[in-house]
Structure 1
Amino acid sequence: MTSHADPQADWGLPGWIYGNDRFFKEEQDRILRPSWQIVCHLNDIPKAGDFHTFDYIGESVVVVRARDGGVRAYTNVCRHRGARLLDGPSGSCGKGGGRIVCPYHAWTYDLEGRLIGVPMRDTYPALELDQQGLVRVDVEVWRGFVFTRLEGDGPSVAEMMAPYDHEVAHYRFEDLQPFGRVTLRPRPVNWKNISDNYSDGLHIPVAHPGLTRLFGKGYGVEAEAWVDKMWGQLIDEPSANPSERLYQDILPDVDHLPPERKRLWTYFKLWPNFAFDIYPDQVDFMQFIPVSATQTLIREIAYALPDERREMKAARYLNWRINRQVNTEDTELVARVQEGMASRSFTAGPLASSEVSLRSFGRKMRALIPEARLDRPPTGW
């Protein structure tokens, strides 16, 4: 049935917006800057002065654990000459974890972002210390994970996840510890193609034989206003693949999970570009960081609850092996789509009624950037 609210509800987005530089600029301003982005977990920054940086669409943001135990977020930019303040993905702010010192001219800020030290202060006629503090960025902590937003006043992460918060509650997100390290995987494709593929359920039985062996025909997809949910229950039939079969056999009981979740894999993708992969044995986040119209960084890290059982350690390793193969398959699939969308012969394809996530994504994209309704780029684009 065609939606009266969106005349193009039965169609995907046009191919040109997956490689057009002007459209990418519009996305940055209308979609990406006003969106929440996941940075880290509170347990990544346990002590005062611990920080994580996040680089995104030309901005660098730093999240810092404050002395009161809270979290602050600032642009990673000195107010004097614009120098980058903190280097690397993570670290601690100086001795005692109390100050951020610019490596260029030694302007010094406390963890509240206040400017507290300027060499030769008296030689700056226009200097007002209380007006030159670090530029604050919106920050939200949801179930232990830290998010920032460059601008805007849309729904919070908690509001976005509200339809599924009761499901996530079982997994003790607040107690998760980093398991491994942040990895960045460059991909020569548009970020939307990675996002679309993540929420696409129709390709699972066609292109992911491993997931089909694990889930059978039980892979589900649904979409709420700001989040998509995908899931699959591990079936009892032993897989023909050794890693998958061993994972089925040794995945240990997780006593805080209800019976229906002890062998359930669940995925949540939040608007517009990050997701949680939730397994009985661990939790990952995956983020599709736009670099250009045809370049994306996939940023990811795993978290887990402390568990020294040999079976759990083995299950986590097997999970990694299984999903590395899935990621390899997806990498090829998305590259095929990116290449095909560059053809002038492709405009937009029809969507099945079951493609609820792609419908939801397209509806929001067209509402925010009306040019996405056009089969071809406007003149001058």
Structure 2
Amino acid sequence: MKSIEGGFPSYAKFEPTSPGSDYYDPNHFHEELEKIWFKTWLLAGREEEIPNSGDYKTVQVAHENFIVTRASDGEINTYYNVCRHRGSRLCTTEAGNFPRGRIICPYHSWMYSGDTGELTKAPNISDEDEGFDRSEHSLASIRTETWDGFIWINADPDAPTLHESFNLPESWSIYEQYQMHRLKVGKTGTYNVKANWKLLMDNAEECYHCGTIHPELSKATPPMQPRQWVDAEVPETKVIKHVGSMGLNPGFERVNVDGKAYRPVFPGLSEEDQRKIAYLHIFPHSYLCMASDYVFVAAIFPVSAEESIVKGYWLFDPDVLEKEDAYLDDAIEFWDVTCQEDWEACALAQLGNQSRSYKDGGTLTPIDWRVANFKKYVKNELENN
């Protein structure tokens, strides 16, 4: 009998899934937001998305919306997208630029500094007005850090730093060869999925389904081959999970639809690394797929208990992107079709999870051991926060 994903650890076993209601109950969803999503580091995007002073992008997490903007000194700040006057949303577009770094409310024109979040102007209100102190009405900010070109945000002021949470740089050491800090976004994609966010991460945690619904992926990196594990000495954390790598089909040169090489491999990769794709999962919502000539990143965000948004990023060598005849479609098509196959499967699972017959949930097999670990992560966060 052939192994799947190179086998599984000795502790892998048959065990129940979470009950069906965990995937659609609004009260449970609200608890997850408060105890998981607003207490951990979330992938907000790439630094090159906001290259200039005043540039901004917004990030939606359920009912909350955040403004991520670059200050005049180059630093990146993140604020709640909420005016301190009457609660109006400040930015109504997903991206743009604040002229002169000024964030102006579209309702009553209260003006804030993008550099500091401070209220700089409130029309018809004098600084001498008794009972009003502008310094007490700055935008509410949240913590922001960057690593390897990625932007991370955290709404919990008491959470460990990104370096502590991710155990940086040690946990990232095996990915430094991809030089992601110098890669640039060649393409982005947004996917609306009618499924609970956990179902999307459950799907990412296993390749049991790959031979069934991913003919393109299975052709490039056959799922029945042994997975190449990450050295046990490379640390993981509660949220950083090394998933190992999959080797290319002998007839393939690249991880794409036809296996042909359209771009040179990243400089510095060994011959072994050139013939595999490495995976890194970051709980609760993102994963990186590192091929030899591009990196695909997915960040999952909850909309409601039954709906999610996925932001996809295709990263390429900037020297490739500067070429007039740069060809990226092979990588884009490969993960676009793979994602859509995944999201269709997740939507079907969402429908089934709401059935009376699935009230007590289903079964995780030993092959689903990574799904079981993710289930334990969610359970522990809900119990301990």
TM-score (norm 1): 0.85
Cα deviation 1:14-33 (Å, max 9, x = unaligned) = 22211112111111111111
Task: Identify the residue that residue 244 of structure 1 maps to in structure 2.
Answer: 257
Secondary structure of the residue aligned to 2:352 is helix
Task: Identify the residue that residue 379 of structure 1 maps to in structure 2.
Answer: none
My pick for the range that moved more, 304-313 or 256-265, is 304-313
Cα deviation 1:36-75 (Å, max 9, x = unaligned) = 2222222222222111111212111111211222111111
Distance 1:141 1:328 in 2: 29
Q: Is the 8 A contact 2:14 2:366 kept in 1?
A: no
1:76 to partner: Cα distance: 1.4
Distance 1:10 1:224 in 2: 23
Task: Identify the residue that residue 229 of structure 1 maps to in structure 2.
Answer: 242
Cα deviation 1:148-171 (Å, max 9, x = unaligned) = 112253444434444640122111
1:281 to partner: Cα distance: 2.1
1:125 to partner: Cα distance: 3.2
Task: Identify the residue that residue 11 of structure 1 maps to in structure 2.
Answer: 16
Task: Identify the residue that residue 4 of structure 2 maps to in structure 1.
Answer: none
Secondary structure of the residue aligned to 2:207 is coil
| Unpaired segments ≥5 residues, structure 2 | 1-8, 231-235
Secondary structure of the residue aligned to 1:148 is strand
Task: Identify the residue that residue 25 of structure 2 maps to in structure 1.
Answer: 20
Matched, 1:286 2:281: no
AA aligned to 1:365 is: V
Task: Identify the residue that residue 5 of structure 2 maps to in structure 1.
Answer: none
Q: Residue 136 of structure 1: which of 136, 141, 144 is its match?
A: 141
Q: Residue 198 of structure 2: which of 155, 170, 192 is its match?
A: 192
In structure 2, do the counterparts of structure 1 residues 244 and 312 end up closer, same or farther at CA, with 3 Å as the change threshold?
Answer: farther
Q: Is the 8 A contact 2:193 2:310 kept in 1?
A: yes
Task: Identify the residue that residue 375 of structure 1 maps to in structure 2.
Answer: none
Query: Where do 1:56-95 residues align within 5 Å?
Result: 56-94=61-99
Cα deviation 1:155-190 (Å, max 9, x = unaligned) = 444344446401221111211222124x32211111
Matched, 1:117 2:121: yes
Question: CA-atom RMSD, angstroms?
Answer: 2.9
AA aligned to 1:121 is: I
Q: Is the 8 A contact 2:296 2:335 kept in 1?
A: no
| Unpaired segments ≥5 residues, structure 1 | 372-381
Q: Percentage identity across aligned positions?
A: 25
Matched residues, number: 360
AA aligned to 2:140 is: V
AA aligned to 1:117 is: K
Task: Identify the residue that residue 369 of structure 2 maps to in structure 1.
Answer: 356
1:146 to partner: Cα distance: 0.9
AA aligned to 2:108 is: H
Cα deviation 1:68-112 (Å, max 9, x = unaligned) = 221111111111121222231111111xx3322222222222221
TM-score (norm 2): 0.84
Q: Is the 8 A contact 1:143 1:173 kept in 2?
A: yes
1:311 to partner: Cα distance: 12
Q: Is the 8 A contact 1:73 1:148 kept in 2?
A: yes
1:278 to partner: Cα distance: 2.0
AA aligned to 2:110 is: W
Secondary structure of the residue aligned to 1:259 is coil
Task: Identify the residue that residue 308 of structure 1 maps to in structure 2.
Answer: 320
My pick for the range that moved more, 356-365 or 304-313, is 304-313
Secondary structure of the residue aligned to 2:172 is helix
Distance 1:170 1:63 in 2: 28
Secondary structure of the residue aligned to 2:138 is coil
1:294 to partner: Cα distance: 1.0
Secondary structure of the residue aligned to 1:369 is helix
Secondary structure of the residue aligned to 1:297 is strand
In structure 2, do the counterparts of structure 1 residues 237 and 218 end up closer, same or farther at CA, with 3 Å as the change threshold?
Answer: farther
My pick for the range that moved more, 330-339 or 128-137, is 330-339
1:141 to partner: Cα distance: 0.9
AA aligned to 1:364 is: Y
Secondary structure of the residue aligned to 2:192 is strand
Query: Where do 1:165-176 residues align within 5 Å?
Result: 165-176=172-183
Distance 1:279 1:185 in 2: 22
1:256 to partner: Cα distance: 2.4
Cα deviation 1:184-213 (Å, max 9, x = unaligned) = 221111111111001112222333222222
Q: Is the 8 A contact 2:55 2:70 kept in 1?
A: yes
Task: Identify the residue that residue 376 of structure 1 maps to in structure 2.
Answer: none
Distance 1:220 1:332 in 2: 28
Matched, 1:49 2:62: no
Task: Identify the residue that residue 184 of structure 2 maps to in structure 1.
Answer: 177
Cα deviation 1:246-283 (Å, max 9, x = unaligned) = x3444533322222222322222211112222222222
Matched, 1:212 2:225: no
Distance 1:109 1:152 in 2: 21
In structure 2, do the counterparts of structure 1 residues 326 and 169 end up closer, same or farther at CA, with 3 Å as the change threshold?
Answer: same
Cα deviation 1:211-268 (Å, max 9, x = unaligned) = 22212224467886313333312122359xxx733x3444533322222222322222
Task: Identify the residue that residue 110 of structure 2 maps to in structure 1.
Answer: 107
Distance 2:67 2:365 in 1: 42
Secondary structure of the residue aligned to 2:56 is strand
Task: Identify the residue that residue 317 of structure 1 maps to in structure 2.
Answer: 329
